[in-house]
Amino acid sequence: EDALKFLGKMFKNGSISKLMAESHARIVWVNDWYPMKDLTYAISVDPVQKRVMVVFRGAITTTDWRTTLRFGLQKIRNPVKDDYEGKNPILRVYSGFYKYLFRKRKDTGTTKYDEIANLVHKYGINGIGPEYNLFVTGHSLGGALSHLFCFFASSTLPVPK
């Protein structure tokens, strides 16, 4: 890490490049075992900022585009446990996005959501402590998946104290 500190001096103050060069964030997980068939994402941890970030990539494969263009709605149970006025127990989400995150894998029997949530927990709470913040982002298909992931994560992941 110290060997790369000189990079921060090479970029203009306030630039994204300088911010990235001086960041303490490190990529701890990249899922790209089957990039032509599977959801690809990365997880980084910044122990100084106490931040865990999940980044979903956008649509680049034929499978991704088929998923993105699958506009049918799927009924799901509302994961929000709290009661509130007007709460609907059943929600409808785009089936392609939902299946990307919640389809049961043949090899492990778990969902991609469970895999990511477990890694966030492992590298967040167990790695840098319970006071971590979770940031989730993505582009295109990744943006849609980040919204869906955040909705479920806000309902099921432990809340920092």
User: pLDDT for 65-119, tens place per residue?
Assistant: 887 887 899 999 999 988 989 999 999 999 989 988 998 888 888 899 999 999 9
Tokens read off for 36: 């032509």
Helix, strand counts (H, E) of the chain:
6, 6
The CB density around residue 116, as the number of other CB atoms within 10 Å, is: 22
* Residues facing residue 53 across a β-bridge: 44, 135
What is the pLDDT at residue 157? 62
Does residue 160 surpass a pLDDT of 60? no
At 66, give phi and psi (nearest 5°).
-60, -45
pLDDT at 92: 95
Query: Does the predicted TM-score (pTM) go above 0.85?
Result: no
Distance CA 124, CA 83 (A): 28
Query: Which residues, 6+ apart, have CB-to-CB distance to 11 below 8 Å?
Result: 17, 18, 21
Strand 26-31 and strand 41-46: the pairing is antiparallel
- Residue 147 — φ and ψ, nearest 5°? -65, -45
Structure confidence by residue, pLDDT tens digits, 10-49? 777 777 677 766 778 888 888 866 656 666 889 999 888 8
